[in-house]
Structure 1
Amino acid sequence: MEKMNNAFEKMKMLVGIEVEDEHQQPAIEEDGNSFSFMDDFNRQCTLTTKQSILVFFHPIKFGITFTFGNLLALGSTAFLIGPKRQVSMMLDPVRIYATAIYLASMIIALFCAFYVRNKLLTLLAIMLEFGALIWYSLSYIPFARSMVSKIMVSCFDTEF
């Protein structure tokens, strides 16, 4: 764990984040243990209220970066398993509809962000893309989509 903390400190210095002096003692929790790596990581990854509602103030900018991030994620999995296998898995009969909806939602989000430039439509396209991403991701987990469908039906069933 000490090696991981040292590596994290070096990474902070490379990025330009201030690092505590080695002379200072690490913060101690109530039970006497020093903060773990994940506690330090979570403290560094906090967003202000203004930053966390970026989507509502700048949905076009967020939509573009979110969609390109999704495209990069698809490209990274294609890099890991190979483009031919990636395409064959995406076109598998089990997930062909989820893939089509996911790719269409990315195209719609980019279209709304670049050409329409309407904040409300872009925000709706981002929500559609996020839902399609979840549904597409669930298609890789056996029985996950049927389980989520049953849970949603039971939660929103209006019959008593």
Structure 2
Amino acid sequence: MDKMNQAFEKVKMLVGMEVDEEQPVPEEESTFSFMEDLNRNCSLTTKQRFYGFAICLSAGLTCTLLSMLVFFNPIKFGITFTLGNLMALGSTAFLIGPQRQVSMMLDPARIYATALYLASIIVALFCALYVRNKLLTLLAIILEFSGLIWYSLSYIPFARAMVSKIFVACFDTEF
């Protein structure tokens, strides 16, 4: 059991979690933000965090993969693909906590990528559920997938700059 706890500690360090457990916050302070209150009330053990992450990520990936079965029905595809993306995105909140997840998403380096990705999710769901137009839903899914890639690249240092330079080099018409 001790080896398992040491392995959890190593994994926690790898994913950026704090190794020491958080200290309980005194009850006398009454000025808490919503996220601080959520973090304080959602204190999970390390094992519960990893289980939550694994379950949420596997459900998201399963939902995304199952969306390929209904690829030719863009409305159903848009709903299942978007639900899978949201579950996979939410799975990381189990590892690093919801407050840190939101603060990382709102970091100045990735605020535009986050806004693009979240807006594309809303547009895809709007087109699939409300408009029910297959062509618009398909275009929204392409936008969502592009937003997902750009958002994911924002977590890799210099990845967006490198991809931008590659696209400029590939599509540059001046010789």
For Structure 1 versus Structure 2, the TM-score category normalised by the shorter chain is 0.5 to 0.7
Aligned length in residues: 109
Partner of 2:118: 103
Q: Which structure 1 segments of 5+ residues have no match? A: 1-50
Matching residue within 148, 156, 165 for 1:141: 156
C-alpha contact 2:68 2:77 (8 A) present in aligned 1: no
* Structure 1 residues 52 and 79: alpha-carbon distance in aligned structure 2, compared to 1, 3 A threshold: closer
With normalisation by structure 1, the TM-score equals 0.66
Cα distance in 2 between the residues matched to 1:58 and 1:73: 22
Residues 23-77 of structure 1 show CA distances to partners (whole Å, capped at 9, x for unaligned) of xxxxxxxxxxxxxxxxxxxxxxxxxxxx96842x211111000101111011101
Q: Which structure 2 segments of 5+ residues have no match? A: 1-66
* Structure 1 residues 54 and 77: alpha-carbon distance in aligned structure 2, compared to 1, 3 A threshold: same
Residue 81, structure 1, aligned to residue 105, structure 2: no
Matching residue within 113, 119, 122 for 2:134: 119
More helix by share: 2
- Sequence identity percentage: 82
With normalisation by structure 2, the TM-score equals 0.60
SS of the residue 1:73 aligns to: helix
- RMSD between superposed Cα atoms in Å: 1.4
SS of the residue 1:125 aligns to: helix
Residue 90, structure 1, aligned to residue 114, structure 2: no
Cα distance in 1 between the residues matched to 2:69 and 2:98: 36
Cα distance in 1 between the residues matched to 2:70 and 2:99: 37
Cα distance in 2 between the residues matched to 1:52 and 1:131: 17
Q: Detail structure 1 runs of 4+ shifted over 2 Å in the superposition.
A: 51-55
Cα distance in 1 between the residues matched to 2:87 and 2:164: 28
